[in-house]
Amino acid sequence: MDDLLADFVAETREMLEAIEGELVAWESEPSDRARLDAIFRFVHTVKGNCGFFDFPRLEKLSHSAEGALAEVRAGRRHPDSRLVSAVLAIIDRIMQMTNAIEAGEEMPAQGDEFLIAALEPDASDVGEIAAMQSGESAAKSNEAGPSAPRTIRLPVELLDRVMSGVSDMVLARNDLARRLRESGAEPTLDGPFERLSGILGDVREAVTKMRMQRIEHLYNALPRLVRDLSADLGKQVMVDFEGGAVELDREMIEMIRDPIVHLIRNAVDHGIEAPAVRRAAGKREIGMLTIAARQSGNRISIVITDDGGGLSTAKIGAKAVSNGLITQSELDVMPDSAISDLIFEAGLSTADEVSAISGRGVGMDVVRANIEKIGGTISVSSNPGEGTMFFLQIPLTLSIISALTVSVQGQRFAIPQSFVEEIAHGASANIEFSQVGDSDLVTFRGKRIPCLSLDNVLELGQRRAARDQRLVLLRLGSGGLFALGVDRIHDQEDLVIKPLAPAVMQTGAYAGTTLLDDGSPVLMLDIATIAQQAGLITDSRARPAQASAPVKAAAEAERRSIMTFVALDGRKRAIDLGLVSRIDLVDASAIDIDAGRSQVVVDDRIMKLVGVGCAQITDEKVKLLRLSDSETDIAYAVAELGESIDISTDLAPAEGDETIEGVALIDGQPVPVVDGFRLFSGNQHQQSRDSRPLCRLPEGDEWVERMLKPMVSAAGYAIATGEDETADVVIALEGTPPDVADLKAGRLITIHADPAKAGNDKHEVYRYDRDGLIEALRSARLGKAS
């Protein structure tokens, strides 16, 4: 039996178990509205689920039971004992059929029509007899029992307990690790402790997996549903899924399955118009249905969009008035959005005809009830003629979150990694700060992004966004982007998030707390709420005004390729792909490491070898990245090769480590990028200052100071400072000819901001073309005319 069917059977059985008590109670008190509603929802859900599968009899049964109960709900019919028995008989039959489906048997003998007939108000006693018979056979089939289970179903609370136990163990382990470190414990403890850590890691992973499922699991069933529905209705609907990899709690998936199926049925049935109508409205005949899931912090947002006719507020309003939900005078003063929200009220359906697919006005109140039960929210927005969007926000009970730790004024905070788009240094050349009124903006890659300072957000003091901050660029669930200025960015780690005390929760700034490895508690920032409090939710994507300075042409080209690898010390690093000329595999015997000197023989040439550090070479073969600056080759020994990735040039600075150019954020992981220029400069024969060629740079330009100067001096040039020095090479920026009298032919390099203008000539270099610049420097120094 396939998984879907098994789910269906299990779910139906569970629901039935849940309402079993209600059934009995309803029998004794048929006018009890709450019980009636619960039973009604059951048959409605069964009917809905049948939409996945081809169970016409089951669907027919549940549809007729639903119909009879709807009459009762509407007050048009009194629930007499005969109706109650008939409904109970149908529910018994549903159970029988479910058992048969599970066992893979044929459906029990016919007889459905009697059961359905018994629901009719004027039904004879035939119904009752049929009901009794059905009851007997139900009892019989129960004796046979369901087939032996291949899996076990566990209460989620049990999993929760295991999960929280494991989380506590992780924290206790961290605490122990810290204490062992502090007390300088005996080395004999290290082995067992490492083993404990390893096992704990495995267990944690397994427990997490136990509870997690990709939302894909839910998606899988939907195309078929949409296809069958649209075929029934003579519509054409294309369905598109996004974010299938978003993982959420298994229980959560179960909880949102019904609501989502309801919403999709409604979208196909009521939202998307018939092809002819669509054509007349100038739309494509094929309707689009999009379901997008996204994890934002501790919540999952799911957006279901259709490009159908949208909600008709006039119709909803009229219906709500006629159903007595609101009065006409209330309706008159209601804004459109409030009218749209009425669809979530019980007993409202705008469809003109009741169909088997949806439209008894139960769908939406059931949807809302189910979503709210799990602590989620649902809202709708609609544009007449353009379509409808349903926004679902589901909490993520998952308690381990990958987070970035930052600090401000010495206090640490965690930011869920899912929000983090990029990290940048405030002092980086392509970031500009500006102020509009009291608000700070940063301009980054041609976009103006609102910038909050964490100091202000947390009321730790007033400050403006400035260059001494690090910026964390955060992407909100709604797609908006904003920057958060912090003092330092520390680390990225998996944190076990615990709920906060209500008094702390009230602040709205935090989503949870956790203990870091050193035992100190750290608060997890609630990014969505912070953005909302700052008023950034709606208007965060303001483009630079047309009148503002033209976006730097370089913005687009500011991406470069790097290659990741695992160094011999096991750490992940990256290097500029432009430097890598080839990859070699050499025998360990070709490597010669001596005190302070390491060399390798490749293709009968002796090369400098770097990247070995003090690591021992144990493998027989060693992978080498052959780096070339077009003059010298250097071999970089690596343990494993990674991939080449395009990144932004904006690396976070690597504090205190001069061999690192900066730290790139790759797939949420910080990866240090090896400074290629330093590698080469460090491997040249050290020239004394006097013998170094002199290079004159343009003065007073920030980019030159920050970028060009270090690059040129790393390439082995002295920078001319005084007016009287005669430079070997002169570098000028485009449009600003150098003010130098002694310029020799062929010794001028011009830097262009526009890559299109560079490249015609060896001495016309684009500002981020490092290799080009090095080559130009070399040829200019030799005085070669190009």
Residue with tokens 């502090």: 182
Nearest residue to 525 (alpha-carbon basis) of 548, 494, 497: 497
Edge to edge, the sheet with strand 764-766 lists 718-719, 694-696, 729-733, 748-752, 764-766
- Cβ-based nearer residue to other proteins, 380 or 408: 408
Residue 391 half-sphere exposure, CB side, CA atoms within 13 Å? 10
Q: Which two tokens stand for residue 653?
A: 């600075």
Cα dihedral sign, 443-444-447-449? negative
CB of 411 to other proteins, least distance (A): 7
Query: Is residue 235 within 8 Å of residue 275, measured between CB atoms?
Result: yes
- Cβ-based nearer residue to other proteins, 109 or 503: 503
Query: Is residue 470 within 8 Å of residue 424, measured between CB atoms?
Result: yes
- Cβ-based nearer residue to other proteins, 519 or 613: 519
Q: Which two tokens stand for residue 275?
A: 């092809």
Query: Is residue 569 within 8 Å of residue 615, measured between CB atoms?
Result: yes
- Cβ-based nearer residue to other proteins, 377 or 533: 533
565: Cβ–Cβ under 8 A, 6 or more apart, which residues?
Answer: 572, 573, 574, 575, 625, 638, 639, 640, 641, 642
CB of 652 to other proteins, least distance (A): 24
Distance from C-alpha of 63 to C-alpha of 383, rounded to nearest angstrom:
32
CB of 515 to other proteins, least distance (A): 6
CB of 471 to other proteins, least distance (A): 20
CB of 517 to other proteins, least distance (A): 11
CB of 203 to other proteins, least distance (A): 16
CB of 159 to other proteins, least distance (A): 17
- Cβ-based nearer residue to other proteins, 416 or 716: 416
Distance from C-alpha of 426 to C-alpha of 444, rounded to nearest angstrom:
10
Residue with tokens 């998307």: 272
- Cβ-based nearer residue to other proteins, 34 or 501: 501
- Cβ-based nearer residue to other proteins, 172 or 782: 172
CB of 458 to other proteins, least distance (A): 4
Residue 73 CA, chain-centre distance (Å), reads 42
- Cβ-based nearer residue to other proteins, 411 or 581: 411
- Cβ-based nearer residue to other proteins, 14 or 168: 168
Query: Is residue 663 within 8 Å of residue 672, measured between CB atoms?
Result: yes
CB of 513 to other proteins, least distance (A): 5
177: Cβ–Cβ under 8 A, 6 or more apart, which residues?
Answer: 193, 197, 517
Which residues, in sequence order, are bridge partners of residue 299? Answer: 296, 395
- Cβ-based nearer residue to other proteins, 519 or 668: 519
Q: Helix (H, G, I), strand (E, B), or coil: what is residue 188?
A: helix
Sort 723 into a burial class: Cβ within 10 Å, 0-12 / 13-18 / 19+: exposed
First to last CA, the chain: 75
Distance from C-alpha of 437 to C-alpha of 452, rounded to nearest angstrom:
14
CB of 176 to other proteins, least distance (A): 9
Query: Is residue 773 within 8 Å of residue 760, measured between CB atoms?
Result: no
CB of 409 to other proteins, least distance (A): 9
CB of 459 to other proteins, least distance (A): 5
- Cβ-based nearer residue to other proteins, 335 or 502: 502
- Cβ-based nearer residue to other proteins, 174 or 648: 174
- Cβ-based nearer residue to other proteins, 499 or 783: 499
CB of 122 to other proteins, least distance (A): 56
Nearest residue to 237 (alpha-carbon basis) of 288, 308, 306: 288
Query: Is residue 462 within 8 Å of residue 403, measured between CB atoms?
Result: no
- Cβ-based nearer residue to other proteins, 130 or 522: 522
CB of 190 to other proteins, least distance (A): 20
**Chain residues in the site for other proteins (CB under 8 A):** 168, 171-172, 174-175, 411, 458-460, 498-504, 506-507, 509-510, 513-515, 519-523
Nearest residue to 623 (alpha-carbon basis) of 683, 572, 577, 568: 568
Query: Is residue 693 within 8 Å of residue 778, measured between CB atoms?
Result: no
Distance from C-alpha of 196 to C-alpha of 178, rounded to nearest angstrom:
15
